[in-house]
Amino acid sequence: METNPLSAPREHSRVRVTARLLAAGLFAALPFQSAMAQNAAAPGTVAPAPAPAEQPESQPAAPAQQPTTPAPTDQPAPAAQSAEPSAQQAAPADPAPTDQPANDAPTAQPAAEPPAGAQPSPTQPSSEPNAEAPEPMPANPSPESGSSQQTPQNAGEAGAASAPQQAPAPNAASMARPAAPQMEVGADWPFWGGGPQARRYSPLSQITPENVKNLEKAWTYRSGDMPTEKTEGKYSPENTPLKVGNVLYLCSPMNIMIAIDAASGKEVWRYDPKVSPDAIPYGASCRGVSYYQVPDAAETQACAARVIEGTIDARLIAVDAKTGKPCEDFGEGGQVDLWEGIGEKVPGWYSVTASPAIVRGIVVTGAQVKDGQAENAPSGVVRGYDAVTGKLAWAWDLANPELTGMPPEGQTYTRGTPNMWTTATGDEELGYVYLPLGNSSVDYWGGNRSEAENEWSTSLVAIDVTTGKPVWRFQTVRYDLWDYDLGSQVSLIDFPKDGGTVPAVMLPSKQGDIYILDRRTGESLVPMKEIKVPGGGVEPENLSPTQPASGYHTLRKRDLVESDMWGVTPLDQLVCRIQFRLASYDGIFTPPTSDRHWIEYPGYNGGSDWGSMAVDPEKGIIIANYNDVPNYNRLLTRDEAEKRNLKPINEEESGGKAGSNAEGAGDAQAGAPYAIDVNAGWRAPFTGIPCKKPPLGGIQAIDLATGKTLWDRPLGEARRNGPFGIPSYLPLSIGTPNNGGPVVTAGGIVFIAAATDDLIRAIDVKTGETLWTDTLPAGGQATPIVYEADGREYLVIMAGGHHFMETPVGDYYIAYALPEQ
């Protein structure tokens, strides 16, 4: 029998009874629901792509997984697996015409060969906190439930031994093009992450710490895409524009593609794909578009340069960058239906919210599969399409790797597999695309997951775009039951090591760890360690006893204690402390429970999420904003789920609850023995104020070479927050939840909005001091960009707000610049 938590402290929880702390003033009812759509991952294993293996006996038997899955019926079948979206690439604008026809794909050059040791054995992080380097694991580690460590195989050979007769596989190599010069960031902002390296860094230096206080509004543009009666309370735009030449390219929440003049903000063209409101998943979002210049195309050729977006109703659309007219040579009339091969079309269950990656002429996209609905969810398949014709170049179905094209008629890609909903990053030289994967479709119970799901979930995977085959993977969480999917875009960096530099990827995570990996092999370039984690929960036999962690840097704070529970009144604080004592909590990776709540800290919004990080390669500084809030969760029995009438999306009325509830706030998890109820941000029942004392969000500067913190400060003021949702208007820097990313410039400035205070701010990169702020007309839950037009440096931010962050929704794009001379 368990000890009553109210009568005695629990072992390992470090609970201590303290006197009530009276609130010193109003604190923000800081919204922190499902703002950062999707889950994260934990630190861990690097290995060549493994083949699916037999499920360990200690794990509950999974349903037999067929290489291809029959098209779904109205009743969800107990299976498990899921997937999501990508990033970008581009090529020089206005190319000189040549004799080669634009639509003739040259013979592909194979991706660059990795150096010796490119297929390493998995690495076992050291248990010593100051270990200098990972120790090699045995070449053939014994499969351990939850560890996802299997005998490595060649990535190209991973997969099932046989498959039913299927549609002929496309010739990926014939569609991929040779490595092409990439547009660089500077006067332009040609990629979602700035340049092809996705560093969110601008080499411009006109705006400095000395003159930033003089910034003024240069122009304001309004897209006109605002909520209607059908979409009220469902908007979370999150858009970051591109800037190429004299034009900004953006997309609205309902996927309207728009071009505006970079210097004046005047609209040039718009294209409305007419997305239906019932397609909205968690929220109406379009984080960005991608730009592609067709190699050797004549300047006068239609769609010689094109803008490509993925939509929330799962289409891939290409339009002419000059006119906004659909590219007739792309797919069917300018679009590709991403529902093909997925199965029954359920609006809102399968969507694209991130900009696709374009690498060697291949458009790579995953999709956001709405979490927590059912094990028989749409597949997490990631696909590559020819950027000119829209033809399928390859498909990567992690549970059925032999299926590289469309599934046979009447079948689908493997359902329920981990997906990639966030933005991928391409390496044009290597020919790789880096996919941050999420979790299986049922996040908080894993007993029905296949071995393939356990091996690939919550991993960074490098795919060779010339073949569509995985090269390596790096898993950050074993047997992920915490929705710790990888939400951040990775950045390509040159990492200082042994007197030189190594081509690397910087991978942030929701649990706060930052990993630095050799981007050719996936091997960690920094020390790793194993941390012991709690056992127990509803499936103790499946848990890994340890989890990998980065020895380089973590944004994660110490474990919570009772005195961290807070409130604006003594009653608030008392309730939160009682809840703390009643809950299961033994630190990070406390497993899910059904008989009582458990505390998940950090929560599923990070750590770091889709806003990602910025890197100043000249100063060698990483800029990372982060969240510091827990979730308060409980698994619900099927009887409880029935009493609450919890149903998966495919059993609900179309569009009925789309975008109206936070991720996990009463999700059915059909096919699993438990549903899930998540209190995101752990908010008190009366005032709505988070139970954890502030700060709830911050921003850090980190030394790239050493991983040491240079400065760390709260991000966000209390001005818009207060009990019962009433703004306090107090200019206190308390640190709020935040959603969006930073930009750093050669001028020594960090620009960031993201927090719930509706401010955009300039921060001194050296000191962390706020140098300038301006109040936005709506929430700043987006990442700004910096570019140059007519010799003038501009800062542009979308003020679009966010329904889950409870900031005002708007349709504003605001440009700032120094006064004209």
Catalytic residue positions? 483
Ordered DSSP codes for 270-311: EE-----GGG-SSSB-----EEEEPTT--TTSTTSEEEEEE-
Count of other CB atoms within 10 angstroms of residue 532? 11
Token pair of 482, please?
């915490």
Place of tokens 């604080």: 573
- Residues 6 or more apart whose Cβ sits within 8 Å of residue 113: none
Token pair of 545, please?
């006893």
How many helices and strands in the chain, by DSSP H and E?
A: 4, 46
Does residue 607 have a cis peptide bond before it, meaning omega lies within 30 degrees of 0?
yes
What distance in Å separates the CA atoms of residue 506 and residue 212, rounded to the nearest whole number?
29
The number of CA neighbours under 13 Å toward the Cβ of 554 is: 21
Measured between alpha carbons, how far is residue 731 from residues 160, 591, 692, 716, 719 in Å? 59, 38, 20, 9, 5
What distance in Å separates the CA atoms of residue 362 and residue 468, rounded to the nearest whole number?
10
What distance in Å separates the CA atoms of residue 243 and residue 792, rounded to the nearest whole number?
14
| Identity at 307, one-letter amino acid code | V
Place of tokens 């505006």: 260
Q: What is the 3-state secondary structure (H, E, C) of 373-385?
A: CECCCCCCCEEEE
Q: Evaluate the CA torsion angle 108, 114, 115, 116 in order and state its sign.
A: negative
DSSP state of 231: T
**Which residue, 433, 295, 282, is CA-closest to 372?**
282
**Which residue, 32, 24, 242, 9, is CA-closest to 663?**
32
- Residues 6 or more apart whose Cβ sits within 8 Å of residue 499: none
Token pair of 476, please?
């950050």
**Which residue, 338, 336, 482, 339, is CA-closest to 43?**
482
Count of other CB atoms within 10 angstroms of residue 640? 15
Residue 560 and residue 601 in contact, taking contact as beta carbons nearer than 8 Å: yes
Residue 675 and residue 668 in contact, taking contact as beta carbons nearer than 8 Å: yes
How would you list the strands of the sheet with 432-436, edge to edge?
Answer: 46-47, 469-475, 459-464, 432-436, 425-427
Beta bridge partners of 385: 363, 392
- Burial class of residue 64, CB neighbours in 10 A (0-12, 13-18, 19+): exposed
- Burial class of residue 3, CB neighbours in 10 A (0-12, 13-18, 19+): exposed
Measured between alpha carbons, how far is residue 53 from residues 140, 145, 214 in Å? 13, 12, 61
Residue 419 and residue 438 in contact, taking contact as beta carbons nearer than 8 Å: yes
- Residues 6 or more apart whose Cβ sits within 8 Å of residue 291: 88, 90, 183, 190, 191, 242, 244, 249, 305, 306, 307, 308, 321
Beta strands in 749-800 (DSSP E): 749-752, 759-764, 770-775, 785-789, 792-799
What's phi and psi for 353, nearest 5 deg?
Answer: -120, -10
